[in-house]
Amino acid sequence: MLIGRRILLIISGGIAAYKSLDLIRRMRERGAEVRCVLTRGGAEFITPLAVSALSGNPVYQELFSLTEENEMGHIELARWPDMVAVAPASADIMARMAQGRADDLATAVLLATNEPVLLAPAMNAAMWDSPATQHNIATLEGRGCLRVGPGTGDLACGEVGEGRMAEVADIVACVDDWFGANGPLTGRRALVTSGPTFEPIDPVRYIANRSSGRQGHAIARALARLGAEVDLISGPVALPDPPGLRVTHVETAQQMLDAAQSCLPVDVAVCAAAVADWRVENALGEKLKKTDGLPPSLSLTPNPDILADLSRRSNHRPALVVGFAAETSDLRTHAQAKLAAKGCDWIAANDVSEGSGTFGGDSNAILLLTRDGTEECWPRMTKDEVGERLAERIAAHLREAS
């Protein structure tokens, strides 16, 4: 999966440029953020408007554009991606790459980047077979460039031979395989719970909380970005399912526990869901009616404790169990008590008091406590950044423990 990956796509001149539009769409479907550099040759075949519409980002074209340099200069653009893909890679752009030229934005970025570069060559068969092109390809591959294609078949010029740009699915698979083989959590399985639970009172009313699920979903995306195979169990939220993850939708705590148990065994479990502590003991099958204006008497019973269940399992216990503590006061004291009571390995405590902006907001501040006594106080940052930091911390822990 390409969840959270940043791909810079350079589109050079050639009729195969039309395939790049589908390539953008396919990579975004798999969770990647895509930015594009369109060369002057590429713009002869497809428009900047089409590229921008499909990528959801501005299109970069000119090396000395004052607007683009002010927003993102070519050096920053070279450092932004996790991978640079050149598709189509014309004979001309590969020749200029081999020579180390930087006379337009595309080649300047390629010369400045330290990230992996994937080439998808596309040209006439005679141009591909040319000793000059073969020398340039050998030079680029010797410098570490990756290559997919070209394929053999009918060419735009009417000839038949080798030179067709690789199919979009093959390019995406190549990108996917590269990240999958290089992620620190590759081969690991992760379980993440997210969002609130709804505990029914009757068919109309329920007990719930203000959790939006943004933090749990961000953690799931971050773990997948590092190569993990992720099961996300989500309570009712107004968020789209992250692409590429196995997502199970539930409402109640019991349903969430059943779904979590069905995912075992996993290497790591992150219980980020704000599970309701209680449920109505005997939820009604019909709408509860007013009786003489008096409020009803509801009998509550404890919900199953998902974090404790995963932490104390005699079989299939995850190697690492991380819980969340949403508190409104005495953050450290309550977090330490929860860490001891639940038997988990780590507790990520956050302040959800009124005015903190955590529940329903886009940012979070974490106090991370571990069973071995380590304590980390993370500053307020976006929930995506919290997810990335936690995922990297998890990857480092599993690597050290193995």
Crossing angle between the packed helical segments 131-142 and 91-99, to the nearest 10 degrees: 50
Residue type, 398: L
Q: Residues 5, 24, 67, 14: is their CA dihedral positive or negative?
A: positive
Q: Which of 123, 97, 103, 85 is nearest to 40 (CA)?
A: 103
Say whether 36 is catalytic: no
| DSSP-based three-state secondary structure for 98 | helix
Peptide bond into 265 cis (omega under 30): yes
Angle (CA) 26 184 169, round 5°: 20
Q: Cα(159)–Cα(126) distance, rounded to whole angstroms?
A: 10
Peptide bond into 116 cis (omega under 30): no
How many Cα neighbours within 13 Å face the side chain of 52? 8
Q: Cα(202)–Cα(280) distance, rounded to whole angstroms?
A: 9
| Beta bridge partners of residue 249, listed in sequence order | 234
Q: Residues 202, 204, 207, 213: is their CA dihedral positive or negative?
A: positive
Choose, from 36, 145, 157, 344, the residue flagged as catalytic: 157
Task: Count the neighbouring beta carbons within 10 Å of the beta carbon of residue 332.
Answer: 14
Q: Residues 13, 18, 22, 28: is their CA dihedral positive or negative?
A: positive
For 61, left (φ over 0), alpha (ψ -120 to 50), or beta?
Answer: alpha
Angstrom CA distances, 159 to 19, 152, 153, 164, 389, stand at: 19, 11, 8, 11, 52
Q: In this structure, what token pair is assigned to residue 345?
A: 């390995």
Residue 279 phi/psi, 5-degree rounding, is -135, 160
Q: Cα(118)–Cα(86) distance, rounded to whole angstroms?
A: 6
- Catalytic residue numbers read 157
